[in-house]
Each structure stands twice: as C-alpha cells, then as structure tokens.
C-alpha cells in the first residue's frame, strides 16, 4: 500500500501508510543499527487484525501514539504499519518486540515524513510572524469534550473496580479555570504567555484560559495551518488522525507542555519531552481523595 486509500462514501475509512507519516529509510536504518528487521509484507493470518486496527485508528483521534500500538501489539501480537514497513522480527523471533510506550530504542527510529516536517515548519513560521519572531510558546492539551465527560463520569462510582479511575488520586475532568490556576500557581506560567491549545472544544468555551482578558494568548492549528499541502487538505477533512498528528508534532516544538494525566495524547507528549531533556512537561490534574468521587 503506497498511498491513502479511500472507500466510496463520506463515512468510509481512510487507511494511510506508515510512509505517509514517517520516513521509511530512517526507520530501516535504525532497525539495522539495532539488529532487528523490517519486512515488506504481513503474514496472511495477521492481515485481518491489521485491517481492523487501521480502520479504528483512521476513524478515531489516535495520533499514531506509541501507547496505542503497544496496546494493540499486546492484544493481537502484531504492530500494523502499512506500506513498506509493516512487520518486525526481533532477534529472529516472529512476534514483534515493539513496546512503543516503554521502549525508547524503537521510538527513536520514528522520523516524521518530509511532508509533515514541511507542514510543521510552516506552522511555526506563521506563528512567529503573527505573534512575534521568534515565537516561543507552550502547549496545553485540554480534555473537556462530551466524550471525555462520559468517560470521566464513570469514575464517579469508586465501587467500579473495573474502571481505571477506581484507584486514581487525580481528577479526570479538569475545568479550564483550574488549568489556569495550575499554570499560574504551580507552573509559574506568566499571564499573556503564548499557548498552542489543543482541544476539540472551541476556545470560546474556555474564556478563563483563552478569552478576551483570559490568562493565556491562545492559538489553535486552524490559525497557523492555513496553507496546507493539497494531500493534507483533502485528508484533514476526512480523518481526525491527520489533524491529531500535526497537532502532536507542533506541540513538540513548544518550550513546555501541560496535559491531562489520563489522556494518552498528553502522556505521550510529556513522555517525549522528558525523554528529550525538556523538563517543563507536567500534568495539571488536581488530587482527589480515594474515598470520594474523582472525575
């Protein structure tokens, strides 16, 4: 599979190859340096699992996060990367040893494709032109959308031992005004600081954080991603995956990142910052007692 494949209707799945997101030669070179192989095809018995994974990833807002791949590998015994790099053998074993979430060696081989490198460089340039060069900004990931509210509401019942909030001592749903309090009092972020805010909710829904007189000077992808490559212009309207990936790469350019500890997207950003030696990477979730609702 060498390019995006689409179904026949607006609700059909878009499946994108590994080479669309990452540089294949860079990953192959990385593989050789660490003595594992990259094969050009999947074994037939794993094709169905990969089709399901890719359909799921293209339909929901997973930014090709390493944790997502790690979870899928645990369940299905394969990490599905379409195109030239889809199957991995480690030290002669047929079961892939990827573990993106906990294996920095493999993650280090992921280099964004030239297409995305150019897009993100253009976004940084437009931010600098609009807000003053050089534009230094922080990244803030806000989760307050309806789907997140539903997930967090399950955690209000501490008797549900099957839910991941049952043993958490950190709030799940954090109001933007509480994010402001954290940034101001705990993180020492100054008023008016430029912030790349990632949220499916509009900035108008968070006036304390981003409104007129709000604590931060906020911008979103739409304000700096205005001259998209034609390939991405078409794709960005079909799948959240492309938008999420672009947001992730732009957030990596920030001087600091703050997110929700229960969000995989936030976790991956914070992990990446810390692995790269950027200490300004934190979670803003306030503590809550284990014997009370924590959502």
pLDDT tens track for 189-217: 999 999 999 998 999 999 999 989 999 99
Residues of the chain with pLDDT under 70: 1-18, 36-107, 155, 158-164, 237-241, 290
Please report the pLDDT score of residue 87 as a whole number: 31
Please report the pLDDT score of residue 129 as a whole number: 92
Please report the pLDDT score of residue 132 as a whole number: 85
**18 and 12 Cβ atoms separated by less than 8 Å:** no
Domain boundaries, the chain: 5-107, 123-283
Integer CA distances (angstroms), 166 to 63, 155, 262, 284, in order: 26, 6, 12, 19
pTM: 0.77
Residues 76-107: pLDDT tens digits?
A: 555 454 332 333 322 232 223 333 333 456 56
Three-class SS state of 73: helix
- DSSP calls for 118-163: HHHHHHHHHHHHHH-SS---EEEE---SHHHHHHHHHTT-TT-TTS
CATH number of 123-283: 3.40.50
Please report the pLDDT score of residue 268 as a whole number: 80
Please report the pLDDT score of residue 80 as a whole number: 53
**35 and 123 Cβ atoms separated by less than 8 Å:** no
Three-class SS state of 38: strand
Query: In the chain, which residue ranges form alpha helices assigned H by DSSP?
Result: 18-21, 24-33, 47-59, 66-76, 104-107, 114-131, 146-154, 176-181, 207-210, 221-224, 230-236, 240-251, 264-275
**Rounded CA separation 117/140 (Å):** 21
């Amino acid at each position: 599979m060498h390019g995006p494949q689409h179904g026949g209707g607006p609700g059909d799945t878009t499946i994108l190859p590994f080479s669309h997101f990452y540089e294949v030669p860079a990953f192959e070179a990385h593989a050789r340096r660490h003595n594992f192989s990259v094969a050009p095809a999947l074994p037939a018995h794993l094709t169905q699992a990969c089709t399901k994974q890719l359909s799921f990833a293209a339909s929901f807002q997973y930014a090709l996060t390493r944790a997502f791949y790690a979870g899928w590998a645990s369940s299905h015994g394969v990490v599905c990367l379409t195109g030239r790099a889809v199957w991995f053998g480690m030290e002669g074993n047929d079961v892939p040893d990827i573990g993106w979430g906990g294996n920095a060696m493999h993650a280090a081989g992921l280099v964004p494709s030239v297409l995305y490198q150019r897009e993100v460089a253009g976004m940084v340039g437009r931010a600098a032109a609009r807000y003053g060069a050089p534009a230094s900004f922080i990244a803030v990931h806000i989760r307050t959308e309806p789907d997140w509210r539903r997930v967090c509401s399950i955690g209000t019942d501490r008797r549900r031992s099957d839910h991941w909030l049952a043993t958490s001592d950190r709030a799940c749903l954090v109001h933007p005004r509480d994010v402001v309090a954290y940034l101001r009092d705990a993180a020492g972020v100054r008023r008016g600081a430029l912030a790349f805010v990632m949220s499916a909710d509009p900035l108008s829904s968070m006036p304390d954080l981003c409104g007129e007189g709000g604590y931060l000077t906020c911008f979103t992808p739409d304000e700096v991603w205005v001259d998209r490559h034609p390939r991405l212009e078409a794709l960005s309207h079909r799948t959240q995956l492309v938008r999420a990936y672009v947001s992730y790469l732009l957030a990596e350019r920030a001087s600091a990142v703050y997110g929700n500890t229960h969000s995989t997207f936030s976790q991956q950003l914070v992990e990446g910052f810390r692995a790269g030696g950027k200490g300004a990477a934190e979670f803003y979730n306030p503590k809550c007692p284990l014997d009370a609702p924590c959502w």
